[in-house]
Chains A and B, each alone.
Chain A
Amino acid sequence: NAGVTQTPKFQVLKTGQSMTLQCAQDMNHEYMSWYRQDPGMGLRLIHYSVGAGITDQGEVPNGYNVSRSTTEDFPLRLLSAAPSQTSVYFCASSPSWTALNTEAFFGQGTRLTVV
């Protein structure tokens, strides 16, 4: 039972490079989301999806793209990396946000450094 799997765990990028952070869940969850974690800022929501084919912006979406072609996968794309995107990125999934008694399951995180 893998839960939420993020790859890679660590990545160093040069400014201007692009890359995709992968997130996959095997729990058939409707809801998936991406957060970034920065010191003193807590967790900030980047993008989220309430189901396959549906995505929406969170608090800090600029510089990131997402798509949700399947229930299982929710990749996060950095189109042109900037040093301000140096952060730890977490993917989370949840059965549904329409029910009150739900919770988010988190991946182990991807530590990204942009130089």
Chain B
Amino acid sequence: AQSVTQLDSHVSVSEGTPVLLRCNYSSSYSPSLFWYVQHPNKGLQLLLKYTSAATLVKGINGFEAEFKKSETSFHLTKPSAHMSDAAEYFCGTLYSSASKIIFGSGTRLSIRP
């Protein structure tokens, strides 16, 4: 069965420092993977998605993620954190054989001034 695991429930970084949010996936074949962001009291917004094209995927707001098959990972990064990045981030995978998308438990990103 396909699944995703977000390794950190909470990450705190200082403004201007790099961000790393970790996501591992479990799949028997090449998955479709997503990162979504949820700002407080808002719905989810797509940041980026991997669909077996380039392994380095660039998203909105300066975020990017790298698909690493050997490590079964799809970590989200940003070179320099901004206060507006404070939000909850969800990694997800398309479970296409069952026509559904499954999300990880989320990572809350806090930014220190």
Contacts and interface: CB of A to CB of B under 8 A. Distances in A.
Interface of A: 4, 31, 33, 35, 40-45, 48, 50, 56, 58-59, 90, 92, 94, 97-98, 100-104, 106-109
A108 B42 contact: yes
Q: Top 9 closest A-B pairs, CB basis?
A: A42-B105, A106-B43, A43-B103, A106-B44, A97-B99, A100-B51, A42-B106, A108-B43, A101-B51
Interface of B: 6, 9, 32, 34, 36, 41-46, 49, 51-52, 90, 92, 94, 96, 99-106
A41 B96 contact: no
A103 B43 contact: no
Contacts of A94: 101
Given A42-B90, A100-B51, A100-B96, A90 B44 contact: yes
B70 to A, nearest CB: 21
B96 A98 contact: yes
